[in-house]
Chain A
Amino acid sequence: MGDVTQKIELGTSVAAVPEAPRSPPMATIGPIAWLRANLFSSWLSTAVTLLLLYLVIRWAVGLVDWGIINAVWSVPNNQTQACRELKGTGACWAVITEKHRFILFGTYPYEEQWRPLISILIFIGLFIVSAMRRFWRKELALIWIAALSAIGILMWGGVFGMPYVPQERWGGLVITLILATFGLAFAFPLSILVALGRRSQLPAIKVLCVLYVELIRGVPLISLLFMASVMFPLFLPEGMNIDKLLRAQIAIILFAGAYLAEVVRGGLQALPKGQYEAADALGLSYWQKTGLIVLPQALRLVIPPLVNTFIGFFKDTSLVLIIGIFDLLTAGKTAIIEPAWQGFGVEVYLTVGAIYFVFCFAMSKYSQSLEAELNRHRRR
């Protein structure tokens, strides 16, 4: 054995010409290695990285110039001359400084605006509590009822020394939150009934549910909102009138109900058939089976898609702008109607967009983490 190795060694040493000392292998750990692997792995990759870096830096510099360095932050009483002189080279944040109360609260009486502010905080608190898994039990429904009633009292007033504020004066962020949250609170039970109905053995009920879901999902939300604003008054007996916000709310509930029903149906279908059969074998009635066995499992399965659907509704409430309801986006759009502030739409829309983004991004991150958590047992 030793003989053979020696021979090979001899052979190689004879064949090898004296060569330059070899360089050590490339580093595979550390920041430089990371850069090489992730940014400069090939010619193409290097070119892409350099191009993107150039674009990002140029864009970021432009943004900082526009948004911070050249920006005007406030102007004396509606004299927007300073903003106009920028000619687009800088942002006019003065429009936000001037109009932020209007954008957030609409035409709600100025000295009473702490009430919508507290309502907004209650909404946020309600979302946070509902997001925590330790509160996922039946008592959560009571918390929702209590919080929503408190918001109703705060917004309307008329008791506890708070002056009455008619609903026409409400506006801004709180309307967006009301439309989205009440929409969900009523659409969710509706959607469960519809989803159960769609999987029902009873043909008449099944047909009704299928018709409802498919008709609503086939048309845009705008047409439902138009229906609520133009057609709904025709449906009611003479003299009976429902205010515009409530009509839009009903349209949103009907719309959300159809989409949520499809999500819930997905959960019902994903549940193994054995669960239904086991419940039947135990002699449970239909409602016992549904309430005790099926729904607790099926709803847990669909929480992440439910949150995603909810993000969709939160964004879709902005469509009430088209029928003239004063939500956050409408308030933003109205704030720049005044001649002095015309032409500063970009600044207002960026601000309003930031508010929407904070809510949607938080929900989206929450949904992702929840999905990871609920799927942990499936990962190897």
Chain B
Amino acid sequence: MSQSTTDPRLLRAPPKRPLRLSWSDERVRGIVWQILVVGVVGAIFWWLWGNTVHNLEVRRIATGFGFLWREAGLPIAESVIPYSPTDTYFRALLVGVLNTLKVSVVGIILATILGTLIGIARLSRNWLLAKLAGVYVEVIRDLPLLLQLLFWYAILQGLPGPRQALNPVGGVYLSNRGLLLPWLDWQPAFTWAAVAFLAGLVGTWLYRRHARAKQMQDGQPRRIWPVGLLLLVGVPVAVWAALGAPWTVDWPVLRGFNFRGGLLISPEYFALLLGLVLYTAGFIAEIVRAGILAVPHGQWEAAQALGLRPRSVLRLIVLPQALRVIVPPMTSQYLNLTKNSSLAVAIGFQDIVSIANTTLNQTGQAIEGIAIIMLVYLTISLSISLFMNWYNARIALVER
């Protein structure tokens, strides 16, 4: 005990020395250095700013964000919200942001699933599976993403036209116009079923909390899955059936030289998504593998010795510990995927970078255009960081 008590002299704050105006005083040196560095950086920026203002005047380039409310006149091939070239630049840029989000969100979900599967496959006891997963990771990570995107785009463009479209599964067509999938004709009944599903999600979560609390009291484990199945599947299906069980599938059909109906995934979006998912999955696989390997072998053995089933070992013992290692690097992979989606400009998918680039070419307002790009990405990056930090704090080891 006596060893842990600190010397009382150390607890006292160090005495304040008066500032000596001499180079040998550390604090004086610090202040001088700071003034010097800030001064130099400030002077450089002042000089650049002065040049910029002068150049803008000479070249008669307008400044300010007034152009946002002018008519854009730029055509956009795919858009989540209704858009026509007569809309404003603001709306065009908004379409770009939504397109960026569309590819990033879908990409993050798919890359996480694929990456986790490959990461686990690399640890498989099956030699062939582990080796193939290893080769995949090594090859995909050693090729530039832009090259992969151009490669996939070249392959998609080299596909036959709609009349000779590849038809791997009934109703799915792959041609140089893109990928066509059968799609449900959206009915109000589906919306209600989706609402019921969301309500079921909340209900399941509440029941799980209730069951946990009860288990804490009497030690009796309760089954959650029957209630979950009922709330998540049974009720939505019942709602859908009660509304007349409408069911029309919109099948893509070849009419003349092109397809009608179905859900069209454009070659640009498909190539971008494919490239981003395959590339990022290679990195995620390594993170998942490292995370699982980071759990000491003794933890597996101890869990087995307690009589847990293999599935429970993974769910209750290994995964919670592995996630702590996995989540921080995973965050930066999600950020990378979002930032890499800007490579869309190279294959003609109109994301925010592509549309802002066209905007700045049309209006000549380069500074505003690039400021918008940077602002959008900084916002997305910060949002992902905040969310993942919140999640990380939730799963982090609670220490004393």
Contact = CB atoms under 8 A, between A and B. Distances in A.
Q: Do A and B bind each other?
A: yes
Interface of A: 38-39, 41, 45, 48-49, 52-53, 56, 88, 201-205, 208, 215, 217-223, 226-227, 230-231, 233-238, 311, 315-316, 318-319, 321-322, 329, 333, 343, 345-346, 349-350, 352-353, 356-357, 360-361, 364
B128 A39 contact: yes
Given A208-B38, A219-B373, A220-B339, A321 B54 contact: no
Given A38-B127, A41-B125, A329-B146, A223 B370 contact: yes
A48 B126 contact: yes
Contacts of A219: 339, 373-374, 377-378, 381
B362 interface: no
Given A38-B126, A218-B381, A231-B366, A223 B373 contact: yes
Contacts of B127: 38-39
Contacts of A343: 158
A293 to B, nearest CB: 18
B34 A205 contact: yes
Interface stretch (B87-95, B134-142, B200-208): B134-142
Contact of B144 (A52, A56, A318, A345): A318
Contacts, number: 153
Given A318-B144, A346-B151, A353-B151, A205 B373 contact: no
A346 to B, nearest CB: 5
A157 B125 CA distance: 58
Interface stretch (B308-316, B340-348, B390-398): B340-348
A83 B342 CA distance: 34
B366 to A, nearest CB: 4
A234 B373 contact: no
Contacts of A202: 30, 33-34
Given A38-B125, A234-B52, 4 more contacts: A39-B128, A217-B381, A238-B54, A238-B58
Contacts of B158: 88, 343, 345-346
Interface string B251-278: 0000000000000000000000000000
Given A222-B342, A223-B374, A329-B146, A53 B128 contact: yes
B305 interface: no
Nearest to A362: B142
B155 interface: yes
A246 B357 CA distance: 21
Contacts of A333: 150
28 contacts: A41-B126, A48-B126, A48-B129, A56-B128, A201-B30, A202-B33, A204-B37, A205-B34, A205-B37, A219-B374, A222-B345, A222-B353, A223-B342, A226-B353, A235-B51, A235-B52, A235-B55, A321-B146, A322-B345, A329-B146, A343-B158, A345-B151, A353-B143, A356-B143, A356-B147, A360-B141, A364-B141, A364-B142
B382 interface: yes
B145 interface: yes
A315 to B, nearest CB: 4
A364 B33 CA distance: 40
Contact of A345 (B138, B154, B340, B374): B154
**Size category, B interface:** 35 or more
Contacts of A221: 339
A337 to B, nearest CB: 13
Among A49, A217, A226, A230, which residue has the most Cβ atoms of chain B within 10 A?
A: A226
B360 interface: yes
Among A217, A222, A329, which residue has the most Cβ atoms of chain B within 10 A?
A: A222
Nearest to A365: B138
A226 B367 CA distance: 10
B150 A329 contact: yes
A364 B55 CA distance: 46
A41 B125 CA distance: 9
Interface in B12-58: 30, 33-34, 37-38, 41, 48, 51-52, 54-56, 58
Contact of A234 (B56, B129, B142, B155): B56
Contacts of A53: 128
B34 A56 contact: no
B147 A52 contact: no
The 8 closest A-B pairs by CB, nearest first: A345-B154, A360-B142, A38-B127, A315-B144, A220-B339, A204-B34, A318-B144, A220-B342
